[in-house]
């Protein structure tokens, strides 16, 4: 197939990896609207709408809630570089790849990151955070990943939120993969800075990082002795653009991406947050039931598994990459491999946003069955799909 300029047309994929997820046609259509100037009153209305919708999804009253230009990692960088000054101590939960990335970014801010580690695949114990807080003289912030996309673990946050308040430290939370798929209650859980990405459970294309700052974070910002070292991600400058009266030019925000995000957020809220979480939960449980019935082992600690992203161990004797290639080339399905120390050892299957459907859960199970059977993996044909159907029905009737 040749496109208008003669090159091969972009293939259509079903995106069931760790992100990006597939985008609903209604959101794709919003991308195609005419480009608006970044100071056009019509665009300013879109910005206001988007900020209001983001507050609902983050479950917060924080005024300073906006989408940064940049992917999820720009949210991580913005959270850390606005919160931290050279010499500050930050306690970082490290139980996967993204916690490790936070350590690296905090160090580049000139801060002193103190890791609190857990094995990959397990949650960080609040007691371990507490003992780190006791050992350090003054801790400016605690940073944790809510949904560790590298391992499939969901980190409980309420106890850590309480510790942050007790010790006068800010709580920074990475909700890149969780927002829109699992509950993220910024105000109720005492989260001071929370960031996300658009291409996971929110179901928009990659390119923006929603972020929110609470009152305690704003107080800390006001007390800074030094300027935020990133001009582009300095939230005070961004606030003058997104919320100032009049708005002050800072950079050229991408109107197509913001329009697509607004549409995706409207769809999330039209479905309703509770219904959205239930859909992710049911489809994730069905997938996980099917995988286990096929004789595969899940990587993450039982009882703390994400429903939006499932990490599966690669069985002995199976070529990890060949399975992913078969899915992509023969079925048009993308799943992920392992990151860092898990490279070659796990697959990561995402059911996020528009990609989280019963149909996709069943499709990836049967595709995986075919790819595994071809490599001589023994399983009883159809068991994955049958089990997933049964789990799905059971969960659905339980909730009804
Ligand atoms: C995907 C992801 C990121 C990075 O987001 P990018 O959009 O790839 O920059 C950060 N944290 C977590 C937990 C993620 O899943």
pLDDT at site 400: 65
Q: Is the dihedral of CA 85, 88, 91, 94 positive or negative?
A: positive
Concatenate the DSSP letters of all residues of 127-182 into one string: HHHHHHHHHSS---EEEEESEETTTTEEPP-HHHHHHHHHTT-EEEEE-TTTBTTB
pLDDT (mean) for 121-136: 97
Kindly give the distance from the C-alpha atom of residue 379 to the centroid of ligand 1, in angstroms, as a whole number.
34
Task: Look at residue 10 and tell me if it is in a domain.
Answer: no
Q: Among 269, 286, 309, which residue terminates a domain?
A: 269
Q: Is the pLDDT of residue 109 over 70?
A: yes
Are 283 and 295 part of one and the same domain? yes
Cβ–ligand 1 distance for 176 under 6 Å, the answer: yes
The token pair that represents 144 in the structure block: 């944790």
pLDDT at site 74: 98
Would you say 205 and 169 are in contact if contact means Cβ atoms under 8 Å apart? no
- The closest-lying atom of ligand 1 relative to the alpha carbon of residue 200 is 1
Q: Is the pLDDT of residue 147 over 70?
A: yes
166 exposure class (CB count in 10 Å sphere: 0-12, 13-18, 19+): exposed
Are 189 and 310 part of one and the same domain? no
What percent of the chain has pLDDT above 70? Answer: 98
Task: Look at residue 219 and tell me if it is in a domain.
Answer: yes
pLDDT at site 262: 98
Question: Which range of residues forms the domain containing residue 317?
Answer: 273-399
Mutate to test the pocket of ligand 1, among 18, 149, 153 (most ligand atoms within 8 A of CB): 149
- The closest-lying atom of ligand 1 relative to the alpha carbon of residue 148 is 13
Mutate to test the pocket of ligand 1, among 21, 67, 71, 204 (most ligand atoms within 8 A of CB): 71
Q: Of the candidates 138, 48, 50, which has an alpha carbon nearest to the alpha carbon of residue 87? A: 138
pLDDT at site 397: 86
In 3-state terms, the chain is what percent helix, strand and coil (to 5)?
Answer: 45, 15, 40
Place 7 in a pLDDT band, splitting at 50, 70 and 90: confident
Task: Report the DSSP beta bridge partners of residue 116.
Answer: 93
CATH number at residue 362: 3.90.1150.10
pLDDT tens, residue by residue, 302-326: 999 999 999 999 999 999 999 999 9
Place 8 in a pLDDT band, splitting at 50, 70 and 90: confident
pLDDT tens, residue by residue, 36-77: 999 999 999 999 999 999 999 999 999 999 999 999 999 999
Task: Look at residue 11 and tell me if it is in a domain.
Answer: no
Residue indicated by tokens 């991408």: 254
Task: Look at residue 359 and tell me if it is in a domain.
Answer: yes
Kindly give the distance from the C-alpha atom of residue 301 to the centroid of ligand 1, in angstroms, as a whole number.
21
Are 260 and 283 part of one and the same domain? no
Are 123 and 151 part of one and the same domain? yes
Are 241 and 301 part of one and the same domain? no
pLDDT (mean) for 172-197: 98
Cβ–ligand 1 distance for 149 under 6 Å, the answer: yes
- In this structure, which residue's CA is closest to atom 3 in ligand 1? 72
Concatenate the DSSP letters of all residues of 182-236 into one string: B---TTTTT-SEEE--SSSTT---SSEEEEEE-HHHHHHHHT-SS--S-STT-HH
Q: Is the pLDDT of residue 260 over 90?
A: yes
pLDDT at site 398: 80
Mutate to test the pocket of ligand 1, among 15, 19, 20 (most ligand atoms within 8 A of CB): 19
Cβ–ligand 1 distance for 156 under 6 Å, the answer: no
- In this structure, which residue's CA is closest to atom 5 in ligand 1? 72
Cβ–ligand 1 distance for 71 under 6 Å, the answer: yes
CATH number at residue 132: 3.40.640.10
Q: Is the pLDDT of residue 2 over 60?
A: no
Are 290 and 233 part of one and the same domain? no
Are 321 and 242 part of one and the same domain? no
Are 265 and 333 part of one and the same domain? no
Q: Among 237, 269, 301, which residue terminates a domain?
A: 269
Kindly give the distance from the C-alpha atom of residue 76 to the centroid of ligand 1, in angstroms, as a whole number.
8
Kindly give the distance from the C-alpha atom of residue 367 to the centroid of ligand 1, in angstroms, as a whole number.
26
Q: Determine how many CB atoms are found less than 10 A away from the CB of residue 335.
A: 22
**DSSP state at residue 288:** H
Are 300 and 366 part of one and the same domain? yes
- The closest-lying atom of ligand 1 relative to the alpha carbon of residue 149 is 15
Q: Among 269, 302, 318, which residue terminates a domain?
A: 269
Task: Look at residue 123 and tell me if it is in a domain.
Answer: yes
Q: Is the pLDDT of residue 333 over 70?
A: yes
pLDDT at site 374: 95
Kindly give the distance from the C-alpha atom of residue 188 to the centroid of ligand 1, in angstroms, as a whole number.
24
Kindly give the distance from the C-alpha atom of residue 147 to the centroid of ligand 1, in angstroms, as a whole number.
10
Task: Look at residue 5 and tell me if it is in a domain.
Answer: no
Q: Of the candidates 124, 115, 108, which has an alpha carbon nearest to the alpha carbon of residue 76? A: 108
**DSSP state at residue 320:** H
Are 277 and 194 part of one and the same domain? no
Place 344 in a pLDDT band, splitting at 50, 70 and 90: very high
Q: Is the pLDDT of residue 301 over 70?
A: yes
When divided into structural domains, the chain yields a total of 2
Q: Is the pLDDT of residue 83 over 90?
A: yes
Greater model confidence, 255 or 5? 255
Q: Is the pLDDT of residue 6 over 70?
A: no
Task: Look at residue 90 and tell me if it is in a domain.
Answer: yes
- The closest-lying atom of ligand 1 relative to the alpha carbon of residue 150 is 15
How high is the mean pLDDT of the chain? Answer: 96
Are 63 and 182 part of one and the same domain? yes
pLDDT (mean) for 264-275: 98
Task: Look at residue 120 and tell me if it is in a domain.
Answer: yes
CA distance 7 to 384: 39
Are 65 and 141 part of one and the same domain? yes
The helix/strand/coil state of 309 is strand
Place 5 in a pLDDT band, splitting at 50, 70 and 90: low
């Amino acid at each position: 197939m040749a496109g208008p300029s003669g090159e091969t047309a972009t293939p259509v994929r079903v995106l069931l990896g760790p992100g990006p997820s597939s985008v609903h046609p209604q959101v794709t259509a919003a991308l195609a609207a005419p480009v608006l100037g970044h100071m056009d009153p019509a665009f300013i209305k879109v910005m206001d709408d988007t900020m209001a919708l983001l507050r609902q999804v983050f479950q917060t009253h924080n005024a300073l809630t906006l989408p940064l230009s940049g992917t999820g990692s720009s949210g991580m960088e913005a959270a850390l570089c606005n919160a931290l000054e050279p010499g500050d101590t930050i306690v970082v939960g490290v139980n996967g790849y993204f916690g490790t990335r936070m350590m690296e970014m905090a160090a580049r801010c000139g801060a002193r990151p103190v890791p609190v580690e857990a094995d990959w695949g397990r949650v960080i114990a609040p007691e371990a955070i507490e003992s780190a807080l006791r050992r350090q003289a003054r801790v400016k912030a605690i940073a944790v990943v809510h949904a560790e996309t590298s391992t499939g673990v969901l980190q409980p946050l309420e106890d850590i939120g309480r510790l942050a308040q007790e010790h006068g430290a800010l709580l920074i939370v990475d909700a890149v993969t969780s927002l829109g798929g699992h509950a993220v209650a910024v105000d109720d859980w005492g989260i001071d800075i929370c960031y996300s990405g658009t291409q996971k459970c929110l179901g928009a294309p990659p390119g923006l990082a929603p972020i929110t700052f609470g009152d305690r974070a704003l107080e800390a910002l006001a007390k800074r002795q030094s300027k935020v070292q990133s001009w582009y991600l300095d939230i005070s400058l961004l606030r003058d653009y997104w919320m100032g009266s009049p708005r002050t030019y800072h950079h050229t925000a991408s109107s197509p991406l913001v329009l697509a995000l607004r549409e995706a957020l409207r769809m999330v809220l039209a479905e309703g947050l509770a219904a959205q979480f239930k859909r992710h939960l049911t489809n994730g449980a069905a997938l996980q039931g099917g995988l286990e019935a096929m004789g595969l082992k899940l990587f993450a600690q039982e009882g703390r598994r994400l429903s939006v992203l499932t990490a599966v161990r690669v069985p002995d004797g199976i070529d990890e990459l060949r399975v992913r290639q078969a899915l992509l080339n023969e079925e048009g399905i993308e799943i992920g491999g392992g990151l860092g120390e898990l490279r070659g050892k796990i697959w990561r299957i995402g059911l996020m946003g528009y990609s989280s459907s019963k149909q996709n859960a069943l499709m990836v199970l049967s595709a995986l069955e075919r790819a595994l059977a071809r490599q001589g993996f023994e399983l009883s044909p159809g068991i994955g799909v049958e089990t997933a159907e049964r789990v799905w029905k059971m969960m659905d009737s339980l909730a009804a």
